[in-house]
Structure 1
Amino acid sequence: MQRLIVAAGAMVLAALVSLSAFAQSAPPSEAARKAELKAAWQAASQAGTDGPSDITLIDQGSLKLPADHFFVPKSEGLRLLRALGNVVDDATFVGLVLGKRQNDQWMVVIRHIKEGYIKEDDAKNWNADDLLKNISAGVEQANQDRAARGFPEMQVIGWIEPPTYDVSAHRLVWSLLGKDKGEADDAPKNVNYNTYALGRDGYFSLNLLSGSDRIANDKAVAHELLSDLSYNPGKRYEDFSASTDRIAEYGLLALVGGVAAKKLGLLALAGAFVLKFAKLIIFGVVGAGAAIMNFFRRKPRSDNAGGAA
């Protein structure tokens, strides 16, 4: 059943990233960007699934989508993120989860990275202070490239939540707070709150995009979705077979910093974190300079259609 969009707007959310993809060619006109953003929201609204519902997550698992949540499948989710200015890897992207309540201003990006079984030995020895120093050094290293291409240099402020790993559930959570250099420390900032669920073939990444003024409340969303995600029998972490299964070329530590990359050290991984998620830019929908705008609101569905990724 077609869903009705009853209010306009878009959320500007930033991770610690660059916009290199947009420097490679002339940008589309403002009118074209606005039209594509509106069309992308409409397509997402029509294709998605309301909670409560069971959402199939590719061939790996499922998500028990809670009430007042909305799942956008891969194709429409990719279109929406790209219309907002994000650079997305369609090989790993699974879908989006949005909040439907009046004051919800968050988005969760779900990916599955099939890089093999990730050993969790790193969690026994890491030190949050040392990790923060290494990531900060990696950001400074990446700033040379940002400055050369005319983008603002970034600075790590500190942990929103230092890395914590649940050995029994094979779940990792961490989040950093960063800013543009020169920006006031107490100004509202955009936040990536990162959660991971490890499995036999790789891991799910659930990245909550929120704001520093809302993350204290919004992070409960990430934890709820993480607990509502389950792997299929045979795909669980404990189903790993050392005799047949592929082992990832990096350990758990590589996931702290945002992006796992083969054969890279921690500093390089920290740089990759800076370069991975592009800002979700508003394209003149409500005017430049707006920080957070409401999502499109939809009337409740009258059907009970299920969903699949």
Structure 2
Amino acid sequence: MAGRFLRFVIFALPFCLAGPLATPTHAEQNPAIAEQQQEAVDKALKVAKEGPALVPLADQIHVSLPAGFVFIPQPEAGEFLRSFGNPPSADQIGMIVPADGGQWIAIMRFVKSGYIKDDDAKNWNVDELLDELRKGTEEDNQDRAARGFPELEMKGWVEKPVYKAETHRLIWSALVVNKGGKEEEASVNYNTYVLGREGYVSLNFITPSGQIEAEKTIAQQLLASISYVSGKGYGDFDSSTDHVAEYGLAALIAGAAAKKLGLLAVIAAFAAKFAKVIVVGLMALGGTFMKLFRRKAPDDLSP
């Protein structure tokens, strides 16, 4: 079993080929970083759970993990992402990767925001949301530049925001590239959400831009596999007792609604999580993984 997981990491995670980031170069020049990455990968493999399986998470949801998918829980998933430059996230609840050589990764979070009203989905302006998303990306570029990572540019929608009120699910996707980079070399975040009584689940599906059209169905399959436990669903909301979030659905896309309410801290949190999860380290993992696992002895790859 360990050998199977090792093979899926070698072949399944060259998923974000969006141009050069500092991470692989830093790992090559700094043995300590490379060692941390190897240790994080090893830990992730030890706790990885292969589908089909029912995975309970955060006392909120169940994921009916299909065959061909592998779930890596916290804290190992967080350690893995941090080893490639991503900051810690208290909201993260795990990640899903393919067991069959696919080139994608899905990062899962549960944000206990309170009940999010979805009224604004009826009237939002997708062009304005994209402008807000671009502004947030530019603001975050200051932090990225200070940390030695390339600045980013928001090119446009891959999929305009779509909210299905009957299932309380939101999908949207935008194309992000390194400034001066080529669109065909970019990665895509295909963002999916499921609203609940106390907050929302975010499943952030990341893949090379050239594959997103073929892989949208995978992201949607994973989204459909998420269900809230009894009493925690969106329809279980009790207006007499439950907390209502200070922002609406648009804030999950670009912080637009939060900005109108003057909640600058909320905007900063959304913008930071969005931008950092997209790119810090993830776009260049493929080559780094190959180098990490080539150090393994051939016997380690036995079934």
Which range, TM-score by smaller chain? 0.7 to 0.9
Q: How far apart, in 1, do the equivalents of 2:128 and 2:42 lie?
A: 45
The letter for the 2-side match of 1:75 is P
Q: Which residue of 1 aligns with 2:112?
A: 114
The 1:267/1:200 distance shift into structure 2, 3 A limit, reads: closer
Q: Is 2:124 the counterpart of 1:126?
A: yes
Q: Which residue of 2 aligns with 1:175?
A: 173
User: Aligned ranges for residues 105-254 of structure 1 at < 5 Å?
Assistant: 105-143=103-141, 146=144, 151-185=149-183, 187-254=184-251
Q: Which residue of 2 aligns with 1:294?
A: none
The 1:256/1:197 distance shift into structure 2, 3 A limit, reads: same
Relative contact order, CA 8 A, sep 6+: which one is greater?
1
Q: How far apart, in 1, do the equivalents of 2:27 and 2:191 lie?
A: 30
Q: Which residue of 2 aligns with 1:304?
A: none
Instruction: Give the secondary structure class of the aligned counterpart of 1:254.
Output: helix
RMSD value over aligned CA atoms? 3.4
The 1:200/1:96 distance shift into structure 2, 3 A limit, reads: same
CA apart distance, 1:270: 7.1
Q: How far apart, in 2, do the equivalents of 1:163 and 1:55 lie?
A: 28
The letter for the 1-side match of 2:188 is V
Q: Which residue of 2 aligns with 1:257?
A: 254
Q: Which runs of 5+ in 1 are unaligned?
A: 288-296, 301-309
Q: How far apart, in 2, do the equivalents of 1:235 and 1:209 lie?
A: 27
The 1:230/1:240 distance shift into structure 2, 3 A limit, reads: same
Q: Is 2:76 the counterpart of 1:76?
A: yes
Q: Which residue of 1 aligns with 2:281?
A: 279
CA apart distance, 1:111: 0.5
TM-score (norm 1): 0.79
Q: How far apart, in 2, do the equivalents of 1:130 and 1:259 lie?
A: 8
The 1:94/1:14 distance shift into structure 2, 3 A limit, reads: farther
The letter for the 1-side match of 2:281 is K
Q: Contact 1:70 / 1:99 at 8 angstroms: preserved in 2?
A: yes
The letter for the 2-side match of 1:62 is H
CA apart distance, 1:117: 0.3
The 1:236/1:266 distance shift into structure 2, 3 A limit, reads: closer
Moved more, 53-62 or 254-263: 254-263
Moved more, 56-65 or 29-38: 29-38
Moved more, 132-141 or 61-70: 132-141
Q: Which runs of 5+ in 2 are unaligned?
A: 292-299
How many residue pairs were aligned? 282
The 1:221/1:12 distance shift into structure 2, 3 A limit, reads: closer
CA apart distance, 1:188: 1.6
CA apart distance, 1:184: 2.8
Q: Contact 1:135 / 1:267 at 8 angstroms: preserved in 2?
A: no
Q: Contact 2:160 / 2:173 at 8 angstroms: preserved in 1?
A: yes
Q: Contact 1:3 / 1:45 at 8 angstroms: preserved in 2?
A: no
Q: How far apart, in 1, do the equivalents of 2:289 and 2:277 lie?
A: 25
Q: How far apart, in 2, do the equivalents of 1:265 and 1:233 lie?
A: 32
Greater percentage in helix: 2
Q: How far apart, in 2, do the equivalents of 1:259 and 1:108 lie?
A: 25
Q: Contact 2:129 / 2:256 at 8 angstroms: preserved in 1?
A: no
Q: Is 2:57 the counterpart of 1:57?
A: yes
Q: Please give the per-residue CA displacement for 1:16-48, whole angstroms capped at 9, x wherever unaligned.
A: xx99xx9xxx99963222233223222222211
Moved more, 249-258 or 145-154: 145-154
TM-score (norm 2): 0.80
Q: How far apart, in 2, do the equivalents of 1:219 and 1:193 lie?
A: 8
Q: Contact 1:97 / 1:109 at 8 angstroms: preserved in 2?
A: yes
Moved more, 176-185 or 45-54: 176-185
Q: Contact 1:153 / 1:180 at 8 angstroms: preserved in 2?
A: yes
The letter for the 1-side match of 2:162 is T
The 1:72/1:271 distance shift into structure 2, 3 A limit, reads: closer
The letter for the 2-side match of 1:67 is A
Q: Which residue of 1 aligns with 2:46?
A: 46
CA apart distance, 1:203: 0.3
Q: Please give the per-residue CA displacement for 1:151-197, whole angstroms capped at 9, x wherever unaligned.
A: 43322111000000000000000010021222234x32011110000
The 1:61/1:286 distance shift into structure 2, 3 A limit, reads: closer
CA apart distance, 1:263: 1.4
The 1:41/1:203 distance shift into structure 2, 3 A limit, reads: same
CA apart distance, 1:88: 3.0
CA apart distance, 1:299: 7.1
CA apart distance, 1:258: 7.9
The 1:50/1:147 distance shift into structure 2, 3 A limit, reads: closer
